Every structure is written in C-alpha cells, then in structure tokens.
Amino acid sequence: MEHQKTSSSPPTKVKVPNDIGFKRHIGKNGLLFTSVGTIIGSGWLFAAFNAARLAGPAAIISWVLAAIMILVIAIVYSELSVIFPVSGGVIRFPQYSFGSTVSFTGGWLTYISAVTAAPTEVLATLQYSSNYLPWLVKGGPGGSSLSSIGLIIAIGLMALFSLVNVLGVKLFARINNVLVWWKLCALVMLVVILILSSFNLQNFYSPRFGGFAPSGFSSVLEALPAGGIVFSFLGFRQGIEFAAETNNPRRNVPFAVIGSVVLCLILYIGLQVAFIGATPSHFLSSGWPKLSFEGSVGPLASLVTILGIGWLAIIVYIDAIISPADTGLIYASVTARLSYSQARAGNAPQILSKLNKKGVPWISVLLMFIIGCIAFLPFPSWKEIIGFTTSAMILAFGIGPLVFAALRRQLPDQPRKFRAPGSDVLGYAAFLSSNLIVYWTGWHTNSRLFISILIGFILFGIYNFIARKNPSTPPLHLKAASWIPIWLGGLAIISFFGPYDGGLDLFKTGVGELIVAVLSGFVYWMSLALRLSTAETIRNVERTRE
C-alpha cells in the first residue's frame, strides 16, 4: 500500500533540484523534435526489411506491440521528469529512491548504450555513403568495416558532433529542427509513393508466401529487438535527458516523450505496410524469410530502384546520410549529460559536471568524443554494434518503473503536474516490458552485455575505494540495492536457457515469458520493500540541489 500521511509524519515533499548553468533554450516543439530526431535515425532504414524477413506481414503486430511497451515505459518517465526536471534523469532518479549503487547500475547501463549510439549512427552514415564513395569501407559499397580513410572521417564526424554541442544547446536545437523536418518529409514521401506506385494486398496473406505470420508468433516477438523495431523507438528518452534545458518541463516533457512515440508509430506502421505491399511478388517466391535485394547498400533504396523510381532512390540515399547523422548529433549531446549526471550523483569525478559559458558540460563532451572514437575499434560496422546498444539501453530503462513506484510512497505529497495513471499496475507493466525485450534479444547479445555490467561494477568499486577518503562521497546504500543481482542474474539465466539468438532453447515460447513475469513481480516487490526511507530520499535530493 502507498504511504498514508498522519499528523505526526515528517514532510513528504522536497524542493526540486536546480541544475544551475544550463540554458533553457529548448521549447515545446524543439524538445519533441529532439526525441523524434533520435527515433528516426538509422533504424528505420533497415527495420522494415529486417522485420519483414523475420515475421512477414505480422511485423505490423511487432511494431504495435513494441510501441505499446515503450509507451508504458515512456509514461512512467514522463511523471518522473516532471517531478524532477533535471539533466540526465535516467541516472539521477534512482539516486533519490535507492542510493548510489542502484544509480550507478542504471547510469552505467545508460552510458555504455549512449556512448556507443553516436558511433552507431556515424557508422551507418558512412556505410550508406559508400554507395557513392566506396573507398569509405573495405570491400566496396556496403563493406563490413571502415577503411583507414573511413575511420579518419568517422573520427572527424565525432569531432563535429562534439563541436556543435560545445557551442551550446541553442545552436544544437536549431540545427536539429531543420534536419528533423527533412527526415519527416522524406519518410512520408517514401510511404505515399510506395503505396501509390505498387501495392499488392496478396503479399499480406497469400499462402504462396507463407501467409500472414510465416514463422509463427515467436518471430513476432523476436522481431522486436532483432528486427531493429525497439531500437527505432528508443529515442523517446531525449525528452527526459534535456528536461533541465527546456523552458517549461511540466508541459514540454510529457508532450515530447509520449508524442514522439505516437507520431513515429504512425510513420513506422505506414512504412512497414508500404514495404510489404510494394515488394514485387517474384522476390517472395521462397517466402519472406528468404527475401533479399541485390546491388544496393540499403533495402529501401533497392526496392524503389527495382520499382523504377530512380529519383526517390536518390532521396533515400541522401536521407540515409542525414538521418543517422542527426541522431548521432543528438546522442553525442545526451552522452555528455549522462556523465554530468553521474558526477552530480557522486558516482564519478566532479570535473565531469563542469559547465562552459554556454551551459554545456564540455569535459563530459570531450570524454564522449574519446570513448566514442575508441568504440570504432571493436565495433567497425553498424551490424556489430546495434544489438549491444539496444539491449543495454532498454535494460537501463527497467530501473525507472521501480523508482516511479518507490517515489509514490517516499514523496506522496510531491507536486505532480503530470500524474501517470495506474500506479503499481503501470509500474509493473513498464518493468515487465523492459525485461521481456531484453529476454527476446537473446543470449548472444546479452552475454556481452552482462560481461560489460561486471566490468562496470569493478570500476565502480575502484572509484568508491578511492573516493571514500572524501567525506562528501554519498553512501553506497547496498541494502537498498540488494535486488540488483537477483534481477540481473535472473535475466541472465533465463536468457541463457531461452530460445532466442543462441540460447539453449529449453524454454519454449510462453514458458520463458512466464518465468520473466514471475521474476519481474518478485524484484518489483523486493525493491519496494528495500527502498530508502522518506528522510533518506529527501537527503539524496537535497544533496544534488544547488
């Protein structure tokens, strides 16, 4: 049950932290476009094709299911961001309710996903550009890795992203707004022309092609992470990360976070329907799982070329450069704010929270540039980095619903200009959604993710061993974090025995999902039972207030 206030109860609300130095230059539409600009990145250029190969026409269901699951998570974060409109809220919210160890866990997951996201988009930009500049990659257009010159240009793009961010959020917002308008127009144009030029309803149900769901319902679930569908929606988070830099967070954050998911769902379903209907039937003679296009870097450009719409193929190739580049610019900005937030929470050196005259954490931007460039070495291509980025990011989102439920009990009197419906029902649904998506990602990707988490905890231990000499270092709150190993360890074990992407396939479809649901319920209950007291929560909030 939620906290019931009595006459002798201590205060259950706190003054909202103020991130002094940030410039509130992002308006309502600018914040929406920041989220939309990230959602429409490199993912949409592959997702319609990949999802169709995995699930056939039933990929439409995958898009709707993914949007519902992401929207549930987005609504939870909308309430949190309105209560505390701070920079890097994905990291700082857990600090308030559970302390440093949980905050670091979410922060590390978020950071490793974001710091590899900008390089992901740079790689997509260069690999698409190789259609005209084949020397950017090894092995000609669409090659598997960057050439030496391509690597130099990739580093140059990372430097450009960093420079734009250092010059201030106002310039960033203006550039982003222009690029997002281009991306929206190009995507809508593609959908309309594909439907008008070639559309065959039999592609959606014909037994010759395997019917509506040629690979069964499990493929509908697998397509969420493996098809790039979930990755295509994850940009909604930017409305959260820039909450400290928008002029009216109580209005703008829910509008941007929820609005971006709904708007992009409409666009993505339109694209998926257009792609399925426009695919020539002779390419489907072996069924949807065998669908392939030859002679081009991108499947969408290949399709419009096959249909004889050469001018539209040129626009698709141009957008294949602009879309990832814009998303990379946004993620470069977000990554810097995440390391800033780790410093503000006391989980990283304070120098990372230093702002320049433009209100930008410039040292965090520099750190993002260095790590982002290093990421090109183990992940030289888009395909090698995308799965890791997606799984880490969605797992990080899983902590938010637990904070949402805890704060409802810790600070019940805190003003909530936006109050999400459903309370614990919504919180559990959001937590379960995150865990299921990670489970569906499969063991091959998750194994690398859990190794990265262990590395993060080692670094956290070393930092805290050194930082304990400083009396201002916050306590670890290990008791409040004792559900973390059960949560992550449980997911690792279930993923290992599951049927997805390299698992042992001991759990059939439905069985593994039920086990994940039980684990989610137990961890949800345990985290609430071990949450910090109201007094400790207020102290944690006040410690980061300026």
DSSP assignment of 310-363: HHHHHHHHHHHHHHHHHHHHHHHHHHHHHHHHHHHTTSS-GGGG---TTS--HH
On whether residue 516 sits in a domain, the answer given is yes
**Are the C-beta atoms of 525 and 432 separated by less than 8 Å?**
no
Q: What are phi and psi of 137, to 5 degrees?
A: -130, 165
| In the predicted structure, residue 268 carries a pLDDT above the cut 70 | yes
On whether residue 91 sits in a domain, the answer given is yes
Which pLDDT belongs to residue 144? 60
Domain that holds residue 229: 30-543
| In the predicted structure, residue 1 carries a pLDDT above the cut 70 | no
On whether residue 47 sits in a domain, the answer given is yes
Of 120-124, 226-230, 375-379, 399-403, which has the strongest mean pLDDT? 399-403
On whether residue 182 sits in a domain, the answer given is yes
Identify the residue whose tokens are 């290990």.
478
On whether residue 6 sits in a domain, the answer given is no
Q: Is 154 helix (H, G, I), strand (E, B) or coil?
A: helix
| Span 101-114, average pLDDT | 85
Residues 508-532 as b/e (b if ≥16 CB within 10 A, e otherwise) read ebeebbebbeebbeebbeebbebbb
Which pLDDT belongs to residue 122? 81
Q: Is the pTM of this model over 0.75?
A: yes
Q: How far apart are CA 488 and CA 492, in angstroms?
A: 6
**Are the C-beta atoms of 228 and 43 separated by less than 8 Å?**
yes
DSSP designation for 130: T
Please work out, in degrees rounded to the nearest 5, the angle formed at the alpha carbon of residue 245 by the alpha carbons of 242 and 247.
120
Which pLDDT belongs to residue 406? 94
| In the predicted structure, residue 4 carries a pLDDT above the cut 50 | no
Q: Confidence class of residue 444 from pLDDT cuts 50, 70 and 90?
A: confident
Name the packing angle between helices 424-441 and 399-410 (round to 10°).
160
Mean pLDDT of the chain: 81
On whether residue 18 sits in a domain, the answer given is no
**Are the C-beta atoms of 69 and 376 separated by less than 8 Å?**
no
| Span 73-102, average pLDDT | 83
Among 267, 262, 286, which Cα is nearest to 56's? 286
Instruction: Return the CATH number at 94.
Output: 1.20.1740.10
pLDDT per residue over 471-515, tens digit each?
667 778 899 999 999 999 999 999 999 988 788 888 887 899 999
Among 302, 315, 330, 311, which Cα is nearest to 245's? 330
Which pLDDT belongs to residue 168? 56
pLDDT per residue over 169-184, tens digit each?
566 566 767 777 888 8
Percent of the residues in the chain that have a pLDDT greater than 90, as a whole number? 24
Q: How far apart are CA 531 and CA 97, in angstroms?
A: 6
pLDDT per residue over 424-433, tens digit each?
999 999 999 9
Neighbours of 371 (CB within 10 A): 18
| Span 20-24, average pLDDT | 51
Q: What is the full DSSP assignment across 168-236?
A: -HHHHHHHHHHHHHHHHHHHHHHHHHHHHH---GGGGT-GGGT-SSTT-HHHHHHHHHHTSHHHHHGGG
Q: How far apart are CA 461 and CA 39, in angstroms?
A: 34
Q: How far apart are CA 523 and CA 527, in angstroms?
A: 6
Which pLDDT belongs to residue 7? 42
Which pLDDT belongs to residue 84? 80
pLDDT per residue over 358-404, tens digit each?
666 778 778 888 887 887 776 666 666 777 777 888 898 899 999 99
140 exposure class (CB count in 10 Å sphere: 0-12, 13-18, 19+): exposed
The two three-digit tokens of residue 268, written as one number: 């993505």
* Category of 396 on φ-ψ map: left (φ > 0), alpha (ψ -120 to 50) or beta: alpha
Which residues are 246's β-sheet partners? 26
Which pLDDT belongs to residue 61? 95
The two three-digit tokens of residue 153, written as one number: 């240009």
Identify the residue whose tokens are 């960033």.
172
Among 25, 35, 116, which Cα is nearest to 326's? 35
**Are the C-beta atoms of 190 and 269 separated by less than 8 Å?**
no
Q: How many domains does the chain have?
A: 1
Which pLDDT belongs to residue 392? 87
Percent of the residues in the chain that have a pLDDT greater than 70, as a whole number? 83
Distances from the Cα of 522 to the Cαs of 85, 400, 486, 493, in angstroms? 30, 16, 9, 16
Which pLDDT belongs to residue 321? 78
pLDDT per residue over 454-472, tens digit each?
998 898 888 777 776 676 6
Q: Is 266 helix (H, G, I), strand (E, B) or coil?
A: helix
Of 164-173, 210-219, 409-418, which has the strongest mean pLDDT? 210-219
On whether residue 465 sits in a domain, the answer given is yes
Q: Is 146 helix (H, G, I), strand (E, B) or coil?
A: strand
Q: Confidence class of residue 198 from pLDDT cuts 50, 70 and 90?
A: confident
Of 35-44, 450-459, 535-544, which has the strongest mean pLDDT? 450-459
On whether residue 227 sits in a domain, the answer given is yes
Among 69, 106, 116, 19, which Cα is nearest to 457's? 106
Q: How far apart are CA 124 and CA 113, in angstroms?
A: 16
| In the predicted structure, residue 78 carries a pLDDT above the cut 80 | yes
| Span 76-81, average pLDDT | 86
The larger pLDDT score, comparing residue 513 to residue 236, is at 513
Which pLDDT belongs to residue 3? 47
pLDDT per residue over 40-70, tens digit each?
777 777 788 889 999 999 999 999 999 999 9
| In the predicted structure, residue 91 carries a pLDDT above the cut 80 | no
